[in-house]
Structure 1
Amino acid sequence: MKPTPTPTRRHRRLVAVGALTAGMSVACAGGALAVAPESALSRTVSGALQSVGIEWQGMPEGYTPDQYAAFWDAGYTWGDAQHLSELWDLDMIETKARAGQLLVDGQALPITPGTYPEAGADATSVAFDALWSAGYTYEDVQALSALWSTDDAETKARAGQALVDGQTLPVAPSGTATAGS
């Protein structure tokens, strides 16, 4: 017969499980912040952490919101970022930061937006590329998220796939469509 755990052993087990869960939650939140630093989730997590005294930047070190916006708003795709990463021999964050800063400074990148729209693309990245190429902005995604009651990631995938399928979205793009859209 198995002995019944004492309250102390049970308490230690609960504390260990709680600590593990909290650690995993912070790690996943950090990952979300790095992947989509300007998303509603990222801003919420960053604000919550700052409200309890933890300084947290939603953007990875050396990567600013201006660089992020400049790169994606110019119509560059995930495939373009992959190509630049290989060309410059940098990781993805450094590549997007460098490319974004060049654009902020008014300089041209060595490729035009949308040159590599499907490089290594899966269905989700094709959908995202379609969304950005059609001229949709982060604010447009937020409007669609509010309308559909979905998070930004789901909204981008759903909206992009609708565009790939030739459908019209209930929110018009507020940005400028790029070649290939």
Structure 2
Amino acid sequence: MRLDEVERGDTLRHRLLIRLISRVAGYRLPDAARVAFYDRGFAGPALGAWTQRAMRAPSPWTVSERELMAAMVASWNDCPFCVGAHRAISVRGMDAAVADAVLTDYRTAPIGEPLRATLAFLETMTKDPDGLSAAEAREALDAGATAEQLEDAAAVAAVFAVITRNANALDFAIPTAEEFDRAAGMLLRRGYS
């Protein structure tokens, strides 16, 4: 359900800020950013800080790999907005053909075994959380992923379990590929919080 307050802003200050940012950026401010302005207690600072830690804190995973994980979680949760947004960010630091191959089928994509095994772990975590056990973690570790990598990947999946559901529930508009690309540059420069 689209909320008018998210679309236009819930206060005069937010309305003006949304219009200004959209005008300066040259594209419609994505709904994810609009939600961050809407009722700051709803999803703004806390969700932004959580996302920033999961996506930009020091990690053995690159930013692009974590963004690709977010896109995969979005794919498993049927969230086209987040697939598009996080794919656009991931390809800023990796070959677009590799990212697309992962999104098509990570099992056959040309990626390293630690990432492939971690994505299998995240798929179970996302699609069948009750089925996630130490055995899945052991498989990822045996494939070369480290405990720190699994923890960091689980943090990405956890925050995007929330974000994708918000995006779907609020019926986020899907930007064009060019708008996703431009927003990706902004998120890489500014981060999530």
TM, length-normalised to structure 1: 0.29
**Which has the larger Rg?**
1
- Greater relative contact order, per chain length (Cα 8 Å cut-off, separation 6+): 2
Higher relative helix content: 2
TM, length-normalised to structure 2: 0.27
